[in-house]
Structure 1
Amino acid sequence: MNRIFRLSLLSAALAVGLGACGGSSTVTADGINQIDTVVVIYAENRGFDTLYGLFPGANGIPGVNPSSKIQYVPQKDFDGSTLPVLPPTWGGMTVPGQSKVVTQAQSANLPNQPFQLDSASGFNLDSTVITRDLVHRFYNNQMQINGGNNDKFAAYSDAGGMTMGYYDGSKSAMWQLAKQYTLADNFFIGAFGGSFLSHQFLICACIPQYPNADKSVASGLISKIDVDANGNFLRLTPAPGSPTSVLNGAPKYLNDGALTPADANGMFYAVNTMQPPYQPSNVKPAAADASKLYADTSMPSTLPPQTQKNIGDLLSDKGVDWAWYAGAWNASLAAATSDRKFGVPVPNFQFHHQPFNYFANMDPVTHADYRAKHLRDFDSQFLSDAAAGKLPSVTFYKPQGNLNQHSGYADIASGDAHIADVINKLKQSPQWGHMLIVVTYDENGGFWDHAAPPKADKWGPGSRVPAIIVSPFAKKGYVDSSLYDTSSILRFITRRWSLPVLDGIAARDKAIAATGGKPIGDLTGALVYSQD
């Protein structure tokens, strides 16, 4: 980087204010240390091809985007035969009660190929329509990926052919930001499956543990799977009467539970949604819990407190300020002490999207001060902290349900507008001159994506998702094809603040090296900063 550009960066930074938390800092020549504030915005359930498959220059939809790197692989039936058409969308494409209705019958006999949801041929389901949810679970994701062929998404979906739908995202606000800054088109979810596990991987690159699950109230949550002679996963065990072809109905399983069978060391792992042991949780407090701050541990879905190291622990040990801001956090916490009906969904708050709330050092009584410092409410704090230049050095933001873009209860357009507005406000913060914003998705939400994930370990990586890097240091108008997964965010934070490497990241690196694969990057491929 030439000296003139270095000085221009310094001048720009001085113009908007320097340093995290409103303080001053020196723009140094060691590149990454010029970034004082990292903001991670974690949206929901959209694959890369689903939203950015038409993005110019990106590795998009085969046969549609000329920049795609492979030819389309047709979807297969359970037995491996090529489907003559896509299966219907079981139960229809839209959520009941909406003015726009697409029935199961209307969705039948689509060609075996991706189709545009928001076009006339794709039923005009534009980004303001809340479409139905699609199964997105740990074992399902692996069966859909099918060794990297990505050709059994339609077969192993409870939504049939809808998994092949995509949008023209060119009118979205985030698309425009991606054009202005950097879009990563080779970014995969760190762990197979759904939101619960992806959020855990985001903060610790680890899989939650449930010791002695077979002797607990959670024994009925242990999945039934078929394995090969070496004990490697093959498929969820089909239930009696499961269809022999996906054209006749969605697959049925003996038990697609929240827990894995025990591994060689006798440990069970939580891979699908379980509830936090602390409120807010979707498990009510125990009758004897006068504080109403805990979830009832006698309920099968309550996960025991976790004790593995997470990124918050490492940052705290180093004296680096951090926080997790959640939309509707205070409102949901208050509701836990009221007469709210537990065990039913809360539209604008998802309990399993709050990963730090599963860890023992967030106990609301014994660690009340630590918890209050690091688990914060978006609505009352985030924007005011940003405006005052007081965001923590590492800041996570989880939008509330109707703004997170999750199929089944949220549309795309509302979350798109909200996240873009948050970014606009962050760009007005005194911290902007030394800020890195990463906007990505927890997982693909059951939608097909054509890019094969890198082969690593039994936990992932899973399907590809969008990631947008917004920063004064982001390459402008750039598509970054460096290999990333969810752990790349942790890798960047670890490198920036010289933290110890989390065990899960070390294990992932070892697994990828054993396969001869490329190392997973730390997002710096998207950045340009002054260096000697």
Structure 2
Amino acid sequence: MIAAGFTALAAVALSVGTASATAVASPGLPAASAAHSRTATPIKHLVVIFGENVSFDHYFGTYPVAANTDGTAFTAARTTPIPNNYLSHPSLLTANPNLANPARLGASQAVTCDQDHNYVDEQKAFDGGLMDQFVQHTNVENCAGSSAAGPIVTTPGLVMDYYDGNTVTGLWNYAQHYAMSDNSYGTTFGPSTPGALNLVSGQTHGGIALNPSTGAYQASSYAIQSPDPVTHIGTVTADPDPFYDDCSNSDHNPAKNANSTVAMTGTNIGDLLNAKHVTWGWFQGGFTPSTPATATTLAKCGGTTHSNIAGVTSVDYSPHHSPFQYYASTSNPHHLPPSSMGMIGRTDQANHQYDLSSFSAALSADNLPSVSFLKAAEYQDGHAGYSDPIDEQHFLVSTINAIESSPEWSSTAIVLAYDDSDGWYDHVASVIRHGSADTNVNQATDPALATSDQPLCLDGPRASAGYEDRCGPGPRLPFLVISPYTRPNTISHTPIEQASITRFIENNWGTGRIGDQSFDARAGSLSSLFDFGHPQRRTLLLNPDGSVQQSGSSR
């Protein structure tokens, strides 16, 4: 039997979707096509591919120079600029201030341990901007598990290590032909869920910890930090699952996950796009339930799994990677499919939340929404521990090849961005623009056991509106734009962050701002990554190993 509290709140979310569908739908093709064509730039379709857990130096530390001793061969164009990395600071490879020097990981070392990327531990690794405490605070050399292909890679000081263009060949080739930023950051410190929330709202404040079955308030030092004593609203710094999702907490199995879930208040970019009748959707691997919901049972997702290249198996769908499921207004609790092909991107029972297969279907039918967010199934999302750069590359190449081969390519921008750094070393310290003075982040009852925001956050600008635990920007992350409207082989140094994507959507489709201290207001512009006056009019198709298959004129 579905718990009464969960059913009531899920019904609210579904009723919101039904009401909205009535408002914007019309017989035949639903309304929205005229409105979404009005944009401030030539970009009519934005596709955001949101990867997992990579620092900039972890993937681009020696770009554009690859060792070419293993993996897929890579040779850069002679005119390739050098970003802010180990090539521009060579002493970092031989006399690094950390306890270990960065070392190259070869293509046979693609599957590694997941590093420590907690909100405070990342601050500690930064050491006030000295960037010299990663081995002590975020390093994880040994982790449980071996695979059919052998043990997961372990090596001293693993957190310092990096891949080059012989393993992340596809990303390096995209950087060669399109635009990359070497000055992009997580909007705050912390793991996946804060990164995902910052992507869609520029905001990690506004959450309430709830019992996953009853919907009643349930205090949780893990789910919410600095809760208001009356409203219980606080900030998300960890990875609690979304309340409005049947598949949260390991398909509601308290033996596997007894944590509180979180419901977010406030506004997200989906709400703003809906208000403007702009088509959009979040598309995630494994979203189609392995067991559909019934009138008396919740949907289940745990039955859909895949294995990575090393034979490590994981469930495809991760609820805490699905940010719109935290909001009643944009959630699809029972993971219902779109009511028809023509409704993908518009408001119906799916409420803009889809399986990745719906993106492929919409693209094939020339029905691509104006704004699409893509999240790979876990085994292909790049998250160390259960995914890896090679499986991630397979997803990126197949997806981007399909987009570049479609009629929509001529008016499309693909953004490759990441949710967090996984704690992997990066030598660049962000400039803290929003401080936090929480001296008991872990809400310990014993003051001696309290974990505090670190000095770089304590000494940063005072938290706006008293919203603590949003210190940032955090670690430096990879960021690429793939579009006919980028200048080839260019690197932007303009400071940007995850919320810069939110800001671009707001500006391009004229939605207005999120409000309530969202970091969209301060986020840097993506304009330096585009060249709207000189479109390229060509495509770059890659092979599964990331090498160039075809580069030429587009239709």
TM norm structure 2: 0.66
Matched residue SS, 1:315: helix
| Contact 1:218-1:300 within 8 A present in 2 as well | no
Q: Could you say which residue in structure 1 is the equivalent of 2:158?
A: 162
Match of 2:475 among 453, 463, 475: 463
Q: Could you say which residue in structure 1 is the equivalent of 2:355?
A: 377
Q: Could you say which residue in structure 1 is the equivalent of 2:189?
A: 192
1:117-516 pair list within 5 angstroms: 117-118=105-106, 126=107, 129-159=110-140, 161-170=157-166, 172-211=169-208, 218-219=218-219, 221-222=220-221, 257-262=222-227, 267-283=233-249, 301-332=259-290, 334=292, 337=299, 346-362=314-330, 364=332, 370=348, 372-379=350-357, 381-458=358-435, 459=470, 460-503=472-515, 509=521
| Contact 2:54-2:477 within 8 A present in 1 as well | yes
Q: Which moved more, 1:499-508 or 1:366-375?
A: 366-375
| Contact 2:426-2:475 within 8 A present in 1 as well | yes
| Contact 1:132-1:407 within 8 A present in 2 as well | yes
Matched residue SS, 1:464: coil
Q: Which moved more, 1:352-361 or 1:454-463?
A: 454-463
C-alpha displacement at 1:378, in angstroms?
0.7
Q: Residue 115 of structure 1 aligns to which amino acid in structure 2?
A: A
Q: Residues of 2 paired with 1:206 and 1:338: CA distance?
A: 29
Q: Residues of 2 paired with 1:26 and 1:365: CA distance?
A: 27
Q: Could you say which residue in structure 1 is the equivalent of 2:553?
A: none
| Contact 1:181-1:475 within 8 A present in 2 as well | yes
| Contact 1:188-1:485 within 8 A present in 2 as well | yes
Q: Residues of 1 paired with 2:37 and 2:407: CA distance?
A: 15
TM norm structure 1: 0.69
What RMSD, in angstroms, separates the aligned Cα atoms of the two structures? 3.6
C-alpha displacement at 1:149, in angstroms?
2.0
| Contact 1:387-1:430 within 8 A present in 2 as well | no
Q: Could you say which residue in structure 1 is the equivalent of 2:74?
A: none
C-alpha displacement at 1:127, in angstroms?
5.8
Q: Residues of 1 paired with 2:484 and 2:303: CA distance?
A: 46
**What are the superposed Cα offsets for residues 268-291 of structure 1, whole Å, 9 maximum, x if unpaired?**
3221011121334332677xxxxx
Q: Residues of 2 paired with 1:24 and 1:339: CA distance?
A: 36
Matched residue SS, 2:265: coil
| Contact 2:204-2:235 within 8 A present in 1 as well | yes
C-alpha displacement at 1:389, in angstroms?
1.9
Q: Residues of 2 paired with 1:208 and 1:332: CA distance?
A: 32
C-alpha displacement at 1:40, in angstroms?
0.2
Q: Residues of 1 paired with 2:95 and 2:430: CA distance?
A: 15
**What are the superposed Cα offsets for residues 75-98 of structure 1, whole Å, 9 maximum, x if unpaired?**
46xxxxxxxxx3xxxxxxxxxxxx
**Residues 190/332 of structure 1: CA separation in 2 closer, same or farther (3 Å cut):** farther
Q: Residue 129 of structure 1 aligns to which amino acid in structure 2?
A: A
Matched residue SS, 2:234: coil
**Residues 428/218 of structure 1: CA separation in 2 closer, same or farther (3 Å cut):** same
C-alpha displacement at 1:503, in angstroms?
2.2
**Residues 491/72 of structure 1: CA separation in 2 closer, same or farther (3 Å cut):** farther
C-alpha displacement at 1:58, in angstroms?
3.6
Matched residue SS, 2:283: strand
Q: Could you say which residue in structure 1 is the equivalent of 2:467?
A: none
**What are the superposed Cα offsets for residues 335-383 of structure 1, whole Å, 9 maximum, x if unpaired?**
85359599xx95322110011111112455899864504001112x212
| Contact 2:36-2:509 within 8 A present in 1 as well | no
Q: What stretches of structure 2 of length at least 5 have no aligned partner?
A: 1-30, 65-80, 142-156, 305-312, 337-346, 436-469, 535-555
Q: Residue 277 of structure 1 aligns to which amino acid in structure 2?
A: F
Q: Residues of 2 paired with 1:199 and 1:35: CA distance?
A: 23
Q: Residues of 1 paired with 2:510 and 2:266: CA distance?
A: 19
Q: Could you say which residue in structure 1 is the equivalent of 2:42?
A: 34
Match of 1:59 among 83, 87, 90: 83
Q: Residues of 2 paired with 1:339 and 1:313: CA distance?
A: 26
Q: Residues of 1 paired with 2:250 and 2:369: CA distance?
A: 32
Q: Could you say which residue in structure 1 is the equivalent of 2:540?
A: none
**What are the superposed Cα offsets for residues 99-134 of structure 1, whole Å, 9 maximum, x if unpaired?**
xxxxxxxxxxxxx3211122xxxxxxx266311111
Equivalent residue pairs, number = 409
Q: Which moved more, 1:387-396 or 1:346-355?
A: 346-355
Q: Could you say which residue in structure 2 is the equivalent of 1:6?
A: none
